Structure 1
Amino acid sequence: MPKPPAPLPASLRDMPPAELFPDIFAQDAPHRGFARGGRAAALGALAAIDPVSYGRDRSYLDGHVTRLSPYLRHGVLTLAEVREAALTHAPDTAPSRVWKYVNELSWRDYSVRVYAEVGGLIWQDFEPYKTGLPASSYASEFPADIKDGETGAACIDAWSRELRQTGYLHNHVRMWLASYVVHHRRVWWQGGAAWFLTHLLDGDPSSNNLGWQWVASTWRAYPYLWNRGALVKYAGDRYCASCPLADAGCPFDATYTALSERLFEGKEAAPGESGHLDSARLEAVPWEPPLTPEVALGAVVWVHGDRLSPTNEALTAYPKGPAVFVWDDALLKEWDISAKRQTFIHECVQELPVHVLRGDVAAEVIRLARAHGASTVATTPSSSPRFRAIVTALEGAGLAVQHWPEPVFGESLTPLDLRVHGEYWRQISASAFGKDPAPPKPKRPRAKKGQSVKAKE
């Protein structure tokens, strides 16, 4: 006679994260970041957005940015519902008032789709550096003075502190800081990307790593640079006024031409250098409307970190079914997640009707299913390779895995071209504004300097 399944361990749902992860909390003094976790906090932040002003001043450090990114990254809010909220700020006759905000939301959808296609390759150089320097010129060890905010440059040190203390950086600052790390200090972009993932509340390999590759020029035709003039334009003199390098020694006080000549050996890849991504892989990615599964008798629900919301589609499909969230010890060890991020995730999980465990995710989900005699596990999709590995393990244990999709942000009538964001946006832009999907509009020919398009026709 088979033994009855072992009972589940007690839930860790109400155990403070400082007790769950004492080592992390001991080494990371700021235990809370700039945003509180959970659906209630997310809805409060969503109600306060000003997408019209965002379109005008988002590039300025004091502009009307929404700071919704942690809620989007962890699925507390969906892109579709944020888009719908943005559209309420513009009449049907003038959606252009929020065009830029919706377009910026699409970058999140785009990066997640790229991640779903390339998987672990997200950590490899897609293309060679376009700096005339070989990859071996970039150090793999991340500099302690950057990490500790002790470079002597007021702006760099302030951004390092802000990252470590709040888990937030303005998007412009992310690009500036990444450019300094890679181009001025010649550090491997992967080290900077890992540093960001440790602290950013919205840290995610998709948008984070693609941003670093864009700055580094491993997914762009040329490297991203900035200078003191750009800093003062978008940030004022808040850094330069107190910087000991302001009058002499500022590494950014030069023209772009002078910076390029100082930092790079050329404007192309060094001889013999190559990348790891075949762009044809992203040229025609199939797109079909996601299918909604049928409710199965006696299923259990697995909630993961990419959809931490009471509106989680698997939870709503099985409102009375057993549900579990598992702190993934292997992933937390690999990513070195800060106390701020642990606190944010913990606050999200506390609003969910789940049994909380920690350890090996697949093993704990299997244990939940066995304890309830279930043969089906319901969950929500994720672009993470880790997610796919766990699903494979669940299926290997004889469990059927259902993927309950969240609302679609943008639909396409054709396979998606993910080689560049602009092509993807042409395909989904109509749907992204809540309309029926439409064929991409033809590209307008570029006019030569001093010549209008009409004059060329």
Structure 2
Amino acid sequence: MPKPPDSLPASLRDVPPAELFPDVFANDSHHQGFAQGGRAAALEALAKIDPVTYGRDRSHLDGHVSRLSPYLRHGVLTLAEVRDAALTHAPDTAPSRVWKYVNELSWRDYSVRVYAEVGELIWQDFEPYKTGLHASAYTHEFPADIENGTTGAACIDAWSQELRETGYLHNHIRMWLASYVVHHRRVWWQGGASWFITHLLDGDPSSNNVGWQWVASTWRSYPYLWNRGNLVKYAGDRYCAACPLANAGCPFDATYAALSERLFENKEAAPGESGHLDPERLKAVPWEPPHTPKGVSSAVVWVHGDRLSPTNEALAAYPKGPAVFVWDDELLEEWTVSAKRQTFIHGCVQELPAHVLRGDVAAEVIRFAQAHGADTVATTPSPSPRFRAIVTALEAAGLTVQLWAEPVFGESLKPLDLRVHGDYWRQISASAFGKEPAPPKPKRPRAKKAQSAKTTAEQ
């Protein structure tokens, strides 16, 4: 790593996060989450994946899941390299053995693409609630008993505690907890999404908010519910056995029909309600292979929180050039990022050949470039509107910004249809398995009415 000019402050790379953010660490007693930050830890976790077993038992709380999500969210691993690792577990003649694992990876790619297209709209109701209730029926005040794990329901309180202590929740638990927050307590989904982003090591507005909107029914044709039978099926009786509400007062001990009748006016939008997203906006989102910039003699590298890896493409393009990472004070405060998540990010940053600063990101990157006499900033793309605003500020300061993209997870032969995941998946599925892009597979014919009714009754 080149010696920094004397005009720059000393690097904060090796300063413990507890010293950088003492107020956060004082108010959050859980300083280490379930995963260690950094590429070395990510590769160790990647070597342990079992995508074949995942396809069989992922829905059970004790099933095999890879827990790679923090490394994917922060770009320590790319979707393409995780996919490639998964494919090594299946012969070329039988990629279906890992089909479900690759398909689940595609949800990350899909939600990031949606986020890149809609921007800050990711925090608005895409569609109205399909609960018969007006948006005004949902409180904006997040309940303290959910946040602190004192509701009295053993499952809810255990999940709240796990979230706050570890920064992790199984995907099934995320859906169950979100359903409780939105439908049983009638809290707007944005409050729950913000709570998750604070604590989850993988929290971001793409996958996180898309998931909450799906549960809430603001991007789904009906609300997501679960009951006690569903809980016992996938979790056993670990929660119910000692729950004070097990024999009386359990809010989940009912049929789906009874729960729907209790919680919803009906499963349609309330009169006069509308969403904020025009679906046509996602119907044909342009897709083309990422452009590879041409290297220049005078450039600095800006590493941001979406690609915290020594394999960062901009770092690879300028292996001997000066690089900088900036702790984004404004964003950390806005998202009230937990101590355990800052510890994870710090672990990632320590493995980077970068000078570490903090404050206003655009201002610090500009200062870093000027100190090195550079007229170009090389970085990696991000779907975040905040990233776009920073790039605009860099360009306004006279800097050229190069975007070095990570390997593509899935290619398409035409603009992407992002209105529903299934249509997107049909477009990129061949490429996602390492084959040449192919035309979308035809939709499967709808099931017979009797089977459809059975499926609906089981949901």
Map 1:72-151 → 2, pairs under 5 A: 72-151=72-151
Q: Which amino acid aligns with 1:113?
A: R
Distance 1:406 1:287 in 2: 15
Q: Which amino acid aligns with 1:263?
A: L
Distance 1:356 1:173 in 2: 36
Matched with 2:222 is 222
Distance 1:294 1:104 in 2: 34
Q: Which amino acid aligns with 1:81?
A: E
Cα deviation code 1:350-394 (max 9, x no counterpart): 000000000000000000110011000000000000000000000
* TM-score computed with the length of structure 1 as normaliser: 0.97
Map 1:198-237 → 2, pairs under 5 A: 198-237=198-237
Cα deviation code 1:5-46 (max 9, x no counterpart): 971100000000000000000000010000000000000000
Matched with 2:268 is 268
CA 1:140/1:317 → structure 2, altered by over 3 Å: closer, same or farther?
A: same
Q: Which amino acid aligns with 2:212?
A: W
Q: What is the Cα deviation at residue 443 of structure 1?
A: 2.0
Q: Which amino acid aligns with 1:10?
A: A
Q: What is the Cα deviation at residue 441 of structure 1?
A: 1.4
Matched with 2:57 is 57
Matched with 2:346 is 346
Cα deviation code 1:111-159 (max 9, x no counterpart): 0000000000000000000000000000000000000000000000000
Distance 1:296 1:138 in 2: 53
* Secondary structure of the corresponding residue to residue 425 of structure 1: helix
Q: Which amino acid aligns with 1:119?
A: G
Matched with 1:13 is 13
Matched with 2:456 is none
Q: Which segments of 5 or more consecutive residues in structure 1 lack a partner in the other structure?
A: 452-457
Q: Which amino acid aligns with 1:114?
A: V
* TM-score computed with the length of structure 2 as normaliser: 0.97
Map 1:326-345 → 2, pairs under 5 A: 326-345=326-345
Q: Which amino acid aligns with 2:324?
A: V
Distance 1:449 1:262 in 2: 26
Q: What is the Cα deviation at residue 161 of structure 1?
A: 0.1
Q: Which segments of 5 or more consecutive residues in structure 2 lack a partner in the other structure?
A: 452-459
Q: Which runs of 4+ in 1 moved over 6 A?
A: none
* Secondary structure of the corresponding residue to residue 333 of structure 2: helix
Q: What is the Cα deviation at residue 444 of structure 1?
A: 3.1
CA 1:447/1:153 → structure 2, altered by over 3 Å: closer, same or farther?
A: closer
* Secondary structure of the corresponding residue to residue 330 of structure 2: helix
Matched, 1:162 2:154: no
Distance 2:448 2:70 in 1: 42
Distance 1:89 1:247 in 2: 45
CA RMSD for the aligned pairs? Answer: 0.9
* Secondary structure of the corresponding residue to residue 91 of structure 2: coil
Distance 2:444 2:209 in 1: 31
Matched with 1:45 is 45
- Name the % identity: 86
Q: What is the Cα deviation at residue 99 of structure 1?
A: 0.2
Q: Which amino acid aligns with 1:281?
A: R
Name the count of aligned residue pairs: 447
* Secondary structure of the corresponding residue to residue 206 of structure 2: helix
Q: Which amino acid aligns with 1:302?
A: W
Q: Which amino acid aligns with 2:284?
A: A
Q: What is the Cα deviation at residue 253 of structure 1?
A: 0.1
Cα deviation code 1:287-343 (max 9, x no counterpart): 000011010111000000000000000001000101000000111111100000000
Distance 1:41 1:333 in 2: 27
Q: What is the Cα deviation at residue 450 of structure 1?
A: 6.6
